[in-house]
Amino acid sequence: MIFLLLTKCIMFVCTIFAAVSFETDSPRSKRPFFIPGMKKSKLLPTAFSVMLLCGPAFSQHQDDEFQAKSAPVQFEDVEVLDQEAYKPKPIDTTMSLAVIAFGSCNKIDKPQTLWADIIANNPNIWVWLGDIIYADTSDMRALAAHYKRLKTNPGYKKLRSRAQIIGVYDDHDYGINDGCKDYPMKIGAKKCLMDFLDVPRNSPLRKREGAYQSYTFGKGAQRIKFIIMDTRYFRDTLQPDPNPNRRYYPSMTGDMLGEAQWRWLENELKNSDANLNILCSSVQVIADDHGHEKWGNFPNARKRLLQLIVRTQPKNLLIISGDRHMTEVSKMDLQGLPYPLYDFTSSGMTHIRSGTSEPNKFRVGDMIVKKNFGVLKVYWVNDHPVVTLEARGPKNELYQGITVKY
Ligand SMILES: [Fe+2]
C-alpha cells in the first residue's frame, strides 16, 4: 500500500515536471519538448489527467504481481448454481456393502447414458477409477468446471443421492494425457478431485501429497476395505517405445507410487481387518502384453506390488482397474498367496477403443469392447466372500459374469 502511494506521488511530480517542459509560455531554452497551444492554466488539469489515466493501470499491474507472488490460484470461487448437487455427502463407513459398482473413462461432452443402468443395480457404493472427466487442461478453473458439469448431471445426481462415492483420478482428470509426477498443476488437480468427491476440508487426505486413500465399510467378519492407489502423482516418466505399434517401453528403474505411498500401502495391506480387500488402480496391474499404460511399464514396481501382496497376506484381495476403453478380467496365481489374484478392468462409460482384440495371457473370459461399467455383487458363505464380477452395459445388459469364491 505504501509502495503504491509512493509510486503515485512520484508519477504526479514527474507529470508536473513534464508539463512545465511542454508549457508554451516558458523560455524555449527550458523546453526539451514542445506541444503547440499548451497554456500555463492547463498545467494542473493535465497533470491530474495523466496521473488518473496511467495510475490505475500501473497500480493494477502491481496488484497482479503481488497476487502472483503471494497467493496461488484459488479454486473456491467456482460458481455453484445447483446447491443440491454440491451439498456435502460424508462417507458412512458403518454401512455394509452388497453391491459395488465402478467405472472409468467418462467424457462429459458425450451422452451420459449409463447412469440409469448403474442405478438399476442398486449399488451401495460407486467407485471412480479415473478419467472421471476429460479435462486435459492445466487451467484448474476449466478442470473444476468439467467436474461441475458432471456433478450437476441429473443421472449422476440421482446416483449420488443413493450411493456413496469414492475414487481417484487417472490422467485426463489429472489434467494431462499419460501425466505423471512432473505435471506442474498436480496440487490443483488433486484439490479439484477432493472437492468433487466431497472430501471434508479437515481431512488428513487433503493435507498430504497425492490422492491415495482407504476406507473400510461394514462390521465384523463382513468388512470390505477399499485401498485406492494414486498412480499419477508420484509416477516416473514413461519411455516411448521405438516400435510404432506400441506406445511405451518398459522402464526397469521407474516407479509407480513413490516411497511414501509404498509405506502407506504396506501398512494398509498388513493391518487390514477386512475379509474382502479391494485394491483400486486406475491402470491395469496384471494384464501386461499390451503396449499402453499399465503397471507393466515399470516391471520392477509391478513385481514389488505383487511381492508386497504375498508378503502382507491381506485376506481375499481383488484388484479393480480402468483406463482401457474395454472390459476384461485377468487372473494370476502367485506363489505364497492362498487365493488367485484377479484384476477386473472396466472402461469406458462413454466411449470405447477401436480394435476388438488384444493379447493378454492372463485373461479369463472375454475381452468386451462395448461401453460398460463394472458391478461386484458380494455374498457371504460362512463369512467367506463370494464375489461376482459383472461387466454391464446399456439397458443394464450383462456382458459377462465371473464368480470368484474365496
Ligand atoms: Fe487414462
- % the chain with pLDDT above 70: 80
State in Å: Cα 40 to ligand 1 middle. Answer: 71
What does the pLDDT read at residue 247? 86
Q: Say if residue 250's pLDDT is above 60.
A: yes
Q: Say if residue 16's pLDDT is above 60.
A: no
Residues 115 and 155: beta-carbon distance below 8 Å? yes
Of the given ranges (27-36, 66-75, 185-194), which has the lowest mean pLDDT?
66-75
The chain-wide mean pLDDT, for the chain, equals 85
State in Å: Cα 366 to ligand 1 middle. Answer: 21
Residues 234-247 have a mean pLDDT of 90
State in Å: Cα 131 to ligand 1 middle. Answer: 6
Of the given ranges (175-184, 220-229, 243-252, 283-292), which has the lowest mean pLDDT?
243-252
State in Å: Cα 266 to ligand 1 middle. Answer: 25
Q: How does residue 82 score in pLDDT terms, banded at 50, 70 and 90?
A: confident
State in Å: Cα 169 to ligand 1 middle. Answer: 9
Distance in angstroms (rounded) separating the CA atoms of residues 148 and 161: 16
- Give me the domains of the chain, ranges plus CATH numbers: 2-70 (no CATH), 83-405 (3.60.21.70)
Q: How does residue 81 score in pLDDT terms, banded at 50, 70 and 90?
A: low
Q: What is the pLDDT of residues 159-200, one digit of tens each?
A: 999 999 999 999 999 999 999 999 999 999 999 999 999 999
State in Å: Cα 178 to ligand 1 middle. Answer: 7
Residues 256 and 238: beta-carbon distance below 8 Å? no
State in Å: Cα 135 to ligand 1 middle. Answer: 12
Confidence (pTM): 0.81
Q: Say if residue 76's pLDDT is above 80.
A: no
Which residues neighbour 283 within 8 Å (Cβ) at sequence distance 6 or greater? 170, 231, 293, 294, 295, 321, 322, 323
Residues 360-380 have a mean pLDDT of 98
Torsion of CA 254, 257, 261, 263, to 10 degrees: -50
Q: Say if residue 312's pLDDT is above 70.
A: yes
Tally the C-alpha atoms within 13 A of residue 292's C-alpha that lie toward its C-beta. Answer: 17
Q: Which of 176, 200, 150, 54 is CA-nearest to residue 350? A: 150
Q: Say if residue 12's pLDDT is above 70.
A: no
Q: What is the pLDDT of residues 101-139, one digit of tens each?
A: 999 999 999 999 999 999 999 999 999 999 999 999 999
Q: Say if residue 319's pLDDT is above 80.
A: yes
Which residues neighbour 88 within 8 Å (Cβ) at sequence distance 6 or greater? 198, 200
Alpha helices in 71-153 (DSSP H): 83-86, 115-119, 140-151
